[in-house]
Structure 1
Amino acid sequence: MRPALTFFALCLLTPGSFAQSPPAAPVEVIYDNPEHFRDASLDSNGYERGADAYVMDELRNYLQTLGKRYLPAGQTLRIDIRDIDLAGRYEPWHPQAYTVRFMRDITWPSIDLHYVLSQQGQPLSQADAHLSDKLYLQRPGRRATSDRLYAEKAMLEEWFRKQFAVAQHTSS
């Protein structure tokens, strides 16, 4: 009996000794027909529809980070992204036509999506949303970042915070 107790004690002290499933991410992101998205590729010439893996992975990871930051414990969010139009455009008449996205007042980012917010498997709310940021060029800190999806991430963070952040109650 003693060897069994010793083995059990060692298992408790050894990290990762029992197979534990990682906690489910609070945000699940699904891309509906990304091959038909208006402009979701940083590597195309701007005339092809579709999304590239880099854009989809970056936005998925960012939305999951926002979920960890803003969703209360026990809530999950499913986001079905239906269309993406990235900020800026390629302008074929420039020398670096397909390596630089030119940011203009008329080329703001937009994302169409549907979301379902649930708690313990029960839907709390769901809706279609059209996100756009016509003032993306005036956002503070825009020039200080090298993130190629800065405008889209800032727009998503503002929407996420307004839509899902738990209100902080102050006692009087």
Structure 2
Amino acid sequence: MRCALIFVALSLLASSSLAQAPSASNVEVIYDKPEQFRDASLDSHGYERGADEYVMAELRKYLEQLGKRYLPPGQTLRIDIRDIDLAGRYEPWHPQAYEIRFMRDITWPTIDLHYVLTQQGKTLGQADARVSDKTYLQRPGRRAQSDRLYAEKAMLDEWFRKQFAVQRHTSY
């Protein structure tokens, strides 16, 4: 009986200290009318407008990871994605026209969004942004990547880091 009471007391103590710990960084991604996005599908449907579930899930997961990496504890970032134009294009005059996205200098990735950064209910910043990467073909390591959204993720990483990363000073 005494061991059970000690266990219950320790459990309550642990759960109350966890409740008081600062919350982890949080990113919420919302897609605004994804069926109308310019080009957000990796499905082999060619030029249909809209976003597919794979693209939306992958970008959401990646933005959440960026939040954990770059936002300080206690901050929340809401990102409303309003349009996506993935890198590359399907070119109907090629064999396998709707299975291969051809990457060209003029087909860079672009994501239109609105973000709101808050901490403890106070808005720290908000803005509309057009995130794009016109030099996506020159990124180091591009050819070694098998990720189908490598260009978009690299672009978002650069934007996120520049926009939200906390400057950490280290002494050497």
TM-score (normalised: structure 2): 0.88
1:72 maps to 72
* Shift in alpha-carbon separation, 1:104–1:81, aligned structure 2, 3 A: same
CA contact (8 A) 2:24 2:74 kept: no
Spell out structure 1 runs of 4+ moving beyond 2 A.
Answer: 5-14, 168-171
1:120 maps to 120
Alpha-carbon distance between aligned partners in 2 of 1:59 and 1:12, rounded to the nearest angstrom: 42
Q: Amino acid of the residue matched to residue 118 of structure 2?
A: S
2:144 maps to 144
> Percent sequence identity over matched residues?
76
Q: Amino acid of the residue matched to residue 86 of structure 1?
A: L
Is 2:6 the partner of 1:9? yes
Q: Secondary structure of the equivalent of 2:166?
A: coil
Alpha-carbon distance between aligned partners in 2 of 1:95 and 1:6, rounded to the nearest angstrom: 72
Alpha-carbon distance between aligned partners in 1 of 2:120 and 2:146, rounded to the nearest angstrom: 39
Q: Deviations over 1:74-95 (max 9, x none)?
A: 1110000000000000111111
Q: Amino acid of the residue matched to residue 120 of structure 2?
A: Q
Is 2:90 the partner of 1:90? yes
| Offset, 1:46 | 3.2
Alpha-carbon distance between aligned partners in 2 of 1:110 and 1:10, rounded to the nearest angstrom: 54
| Offset, 1:25 | 5.8
| Offset, 1:7 | 2.2
Q: Which 5+ residue runs of structure 1 have no aligned equivalent? A: none
2:156 maps to 156
Q: Deviations over 1:35-89 (max 9, x none)?
A: 0000000004332110000000000000000000000111110000000000000
CA contact (8 A) 2:25 2:71 kept: no
Is 2:36 the partner of 1:36? yes
Q: Deviations over 1:112-150 (max 9, x none)?
A: 000000011211000000011010000000000100000
Q: Amino acid of the residue matched to residue 134 of structure 2?
A: K
Q: Secondary structure of the equivalent of 1:68?
A: helix
* Shift in alpha-carbon separation, 1:74–1:25, aligned structure 2, 3 A: closer
2:101 maps to 101
Aligned-residue Cα RMSD (Å) equals: 2.3
Q: Which 5+ residue runs of structure 2 have no aligned equivalent? A: none
1:167 maps to 167
CA contact (8 A) 1:45 1:90 kept: no
| Offset, 1:167 | 1.4
Q: Secondary structure of the equivalent of 1:54?
A: helix
CA contact (8 A) 2:24 2:68 kept: no
CA contact (8 A) 2:25 2:74 kept: no
TM-score (normalised: structure 1): 0.88
CA contact (8 A) 1:90 1:98 kept: yes
Q: Amino acid of the residue matched to residue 7 of structure 1?
A: A
